[in-house]
Structure 1
């Protein structure tokens, strides 16, 4: 008999045996001092961490062939146990299997890691001709907190479209909270908290649901098959999976002393499970310019080359590893003549002649010209756009002003191959891909009948796109699914468009406050184009530091025309102390997380003997930033020196516990430790 380990049959199984069900509970240890107590006669389990119960009556539920079936419906089951080692770690795999007289059955699998402070659970149903679009690998009650109304519930968006915000709000009685793919429930003061999230994203969209039943009881449900127009953008229910065996996504469950550690562990675990198929990026942290910041639809060869000249002459030090990108966003087709890419190749060559790398933009799964009718021929094929549109009941999926294209349709793929081939031949070395969520929507019927869910469709589309790119470009995702894109791109924008104001800074940092952990899912997360324009110098500094805190720096002013932004860019973007911070490309951690739709005012990056602390004032009035070293995780007695990298001042570290900030002002402190 052979059992598959967690994610691949190639993992070595060292031993396997069947356990007779002679006792009514199976104790499953994991981590340092935690265990799952599975009640084999009830099909439910409890979870204990460091002697405290944190989950009660966990179970699985599936809607299969229109009937609801739960693990609690059976009183007898067989139990198997095997050792495993995989990309996450090692431990014991427990399988609890039930089967009825018709041959229909359910298997709950619990992966108990000896070297991780979490366990993983999934559920599988088996039988003949099964169909399901809703599976709950884990339902149960979170307990162990005296008053859940003091706890913060984290909402993570499915994507970064429609200027959506992360939210971190206190729980309220009876209110259902839904988060996409991952959530945390935590105490902001002690930072202790739960982290629950999905580990694979090839088939299901998953909603993490909580509801406070009373002060000491929080209902939890992990729903594979969740759709909601305001979150997943879908206009119809989740697609069905069919076959003789159907499995849910795998769910990570952990309770951590610091929820921030838990979120980072979660991101690293997803990256280990869903190994990138895009080439690992070994180049320096990307920095440079993007035309959408200001130029937008006015993009032309003349303006773009003048920006190149400004970088080559006035921003010579704005580089990481001597590299900067000049990226043409939407409206680069202003340089096309029919299907002639000569002008674009000329621009790319000009960039390279000035020591810069040319970048380009495209939205491969959208039809922006759909109002022109269905009979228009798609580039690179004999198919019409009407044939390629994603089918939604009797209509199509229109969102953001564009119509979705079916990623499984050969016309969509031929169009991708045609455009990408031209861009590669033109010499572009970076591509910003956008509106990727259009590839992940549920469809009434995809062209490929084997594809039945939006996430399956997304996988087909992204894998084909990467095949066409052939690792010839740095791949940057703009609007895209947050968790499912880690395999396909090296850089992902953390939020939606953000431009120049302190409100834009706060919006960007809302996503960093609650989503910084994605720095471990992607090579880089990006704070979007930094625009200086006619804002105050304080607002310019804040906007720049919001990008530094995120881990990269892409700017967006129109450097083809004169204005105050030029001189300020020369000063800000060539600050060597700030550029050094992003050499590793990793985001800062938030100090606080319970900010609703707002953002933390403080962030920290721990580089051992050097700690960087960013302080922000999002208001249009004076503020005092309090500095609590214990909250920052810094032993105050070990501080050697503090340097303000914006004011270029050495600060006396003795009794330095606050920083005065003007309206919309921010600063960066470099703290040296013994």
Structure 2
């Protein structure tokens, strides 16, 4: 037997009355108690039971098979090592009466406070569009009505928000790809999430039938119009072997640490195929903030001039991007891209990098008919439309294009080739969820699910881009896009008001952990406009807290935003904060559809604390050092980076904020 793998095969035949358990340790003082005669398991962490009666279930060939169905089971144990860590893998195998082999695999990490479980089936001519790698009862709380449940959206479309609400009796809670259930006061909580996103859309469902037990069901194969935008059922996976996504399960002393561990593990599991970004944190300008459909060569070159002459210090690594959003085709004459190349050359002549925008998987002109020829091929758009139940997938005013269709791909190659030839160095890609929709029939017969199609489309797009541009995703799947882009916008469109600030920071409060899944997350174009000073500062700080700074005022026109931009966007104390490109962490996570009022970030011996007042009345922000994780005795100095005034740290335990006001504290420690 191979000593390296340390494979131990235990062939066990159980009677209904027999009792046999497998104690599977993981992390520190944690173990899984697998009851092999029942096909269920319990999980304990630090002597406390956190999961009871866990099991797996699969719908295969219209038959539901469960790990609880077998009283004969083969157990295989072996060591494993991957980029996440090392541990023991346990494989529990049973065989159904219909001849389907049912395999539960548990990966128990010795160096992490979580394990991973997945379920697989093998046999002949199998078909499944629903797999439950994990069902069971969460049991860590005495009363789960005091616990907060996190809802993560599938994407950032339709101005959707994350939600973090107290659990209610009998109400089903559905989250996409990952969830957390936690006590906001103590911060102890669960993190449960998917590690694979190239085949399945997955929902994490919880329901509270009694206060002491929270029912959990992790469903690979979930679709709904509200969450995944699908009007069709999930596509079927077929073959002689089918596997679920791997599911990470952990109970953490701080749910925020758990969410960050989850994001890091996804990135280790699904290695990016996009190039590793070694440049500076992206900063710059995007035309959708204000200019929008009024985009013209004259106006955008005036923006370039303003950056070159009046925003010289708004740079990272001596770089800023000037990005043309939708309506850049105002500069086209038929298929003549010369005006766009002229713009790109002008940017470079002024020491700036040109950026562009495109939505590669959408047809915005579908109402013009099916027989229009698509650029770069002889295919018509009608041939390329994604087929769904009842016709086609129309969403956000655009019709989805089949990512596997050669016409879609030839169009991508044609447009991207022209944009590369112009010399663009950044591209903002949008409405990527259109590439992930379920279809009744994709062009490629080997593709049967929306996430398989998304992978095909994104891999082809990256092949065409050939690492020639920084890739920024706007509307896109929240977790599944980590392999394909360097930057992802954390929320939907946001502009200038305090409500835009609050909306954006709702996504940072509950999705900041994506800073470890992507190189950068972004708060969308910061617009100053005619808003007051407080709203301007708050909106700017919302971007600093997120980790990048892209702005959006029309600097070709005169207005107060020009002077305000020169003051705010060139503040080197603020720009220093985003030099590492990482997001702040929320202090609180129980704000429903709103956002935490406080965020914190560590940089060496410095702690940056951002304070926000989203209301229209004055407020007092408490400064609770223990809550912030700061030893008050170790504080050397405190500076308000907005007023540029020092603060006496002695007995500094609150900060007054005017309506819509925010500030940034720099706390230096010994």
Quickly name the TM-score band, shorter chain normalised: over 0.9
TM-score for both structures, normalised by structure 1: 0.98
Q: CA offset at residue 20 of structure 1? A: 3.8
The match for 1:21 among 12, 27, 30 is 12
Preserved contact between residue 506 and residue 599 of structure 1 (Cα < 8 Å): yes
- Is 1:225 matched with 2:216? no
Deviations 1:211-251 (A, max 9, x none): 01111000000000000101100010000000111100000
- Is 1:235 matched with 2:231? yes
- Looking at structure 2, the residues matched to 302 and 606 of structure 1 have their Cα atoms a distance apart, in angstroms, of 43
- Is 1:84 matched with 2:80? yes
Tell me what 2:211 maps to.
Answer: 215
Tell me what 1:9 maps to.
Answer: none
Deviations 1:620-641 (A, max 9, x none): 1211111000000000011000
Tell me what 1:269 maps to.
Answer: 265
Q: CA offset at residue 13 of structure 1? A: 5.6
Preserved contact between residue 14 and residue 84 of structure 1 (Cα < 8 Å): yes
Tell me what 2:299 maps to.
Answer: 303
- Looking at structure 2, the residues matched to 620 and 36 of structure 1 have their Cα atoms a distance apart, in angstroms, of 50
- Looking at structure 1, the residues matched to 367 and 374 of structure 2 have their Cα atoms a distance apart, in angstroms, of 14
The match for 1:246 among 242, 246, 252 is 242
- Is 1:636 matched with 2:627? no
Q: CA offset at residue 652 of structure 1? A: 0.6
- Looking at structure 2, the residues matched to 363 and 613 of structure 1 have their Cα atoms a distance apart, in angstroms, of 37
Tell me, what secondary structure is at the counterpart of 1:267? helix
Tell me what 1:146 maps to.
Answer: 142
Preserved contact between residue 96 and residue 102 of structure 2 (Cα < 8 Å): no
- Looking at structure 2, the residues matched to 650 and 518 of structure 1 have their Cα atoms a distance apart, in angstroms, of 33
In the TM superposition, 1:129-144 aligns within 5 A as 129-144=125-140
Unaligned runs of at least 5 residues, structure 2: 14-18
Q: CA offset at residue 102 of structure 1? A: 4.7
The match for 2:562 among 562, 566, 579 is 566
Tell me what 2:420 maps to.
Answer: 424
RMSD: 1.0
State how many pairs are aligned: 665
- Is 1:548 matched with 2:544? yes
Tell me, what secondary structure is at the counterpart of 1:583? helix
- Looking at structure 1, the residues matched to 568 and 542 of structure 2 have their Cα atoms a distance apart, in angstroms, of 13
Preserved contact between residue 285 and residue 585 of structure 1 (Cα < 8 Å): yes
In the TM superposition, 1:95-494 aligns within 5 A as 95-100=91-96, 102-494=98-490
Preserved contact between residue 238 and residue 442 of structure 1 (Cα < 8 Å): yes
- Looking at structure 1, the residues matched to 140 and 461 of structure 2 have their Cα atoms a distance apart, in angstroms, of 47
Deviations 1:430-455 (A, max 9, x none): 00000000000000000001000000
Deviations 1:566-600 (A, max 9, x none): 00000000000000000000000000000000000
Tell me, what secondary structure is at the counterpart of 2:174? strand
Tell me what 1:7 maps to.
Answer: none
Q: CA offset at residue 100 of structure 1? A: 3.8
Q: CA offset at residue 553 of structure 1? A: 0.1
Tell me what 2:16 maps to.
Answer: none
- Looking at structure 2, the residues matched to 243 and 358 of structure 1 have their Cα atoms a distance apart, in angstroms, of 47
Tell me what 1:539 maps to.
Answer: 535
Preserved contact between residue 106 and residue 123 of structure 1 (Cα < 8 Å): yes
Deviations 1:373-395 (A, max 9, x none): 00000000000000000001240
Tell me what 1:506 maps to.
Answer: 502
The match for 1:611 among 597, 607, 610 is 607
Preserved contact between residue 13 and residue 85 of structure 1 (Cα < 8 Å): no
- Looking at structure 1, the residues matched to 553 and 598 of structure 2 have their Cα atoms a distance apart, in angstroms, of 27
Preserved contact between residue 13 and residue 84 of structure 1 (Cα < 8 Å): no
- Looking at structure 2, the residues matched to 364 and 104 of structure 1 have their Cα atoms a distance apart, in angstroms, of 41
Tell me, what secondary structure is at the counterpart of 2:482? coil
Deviations 1:416-440 (A, max 9, x none): 0000000000000000000000000
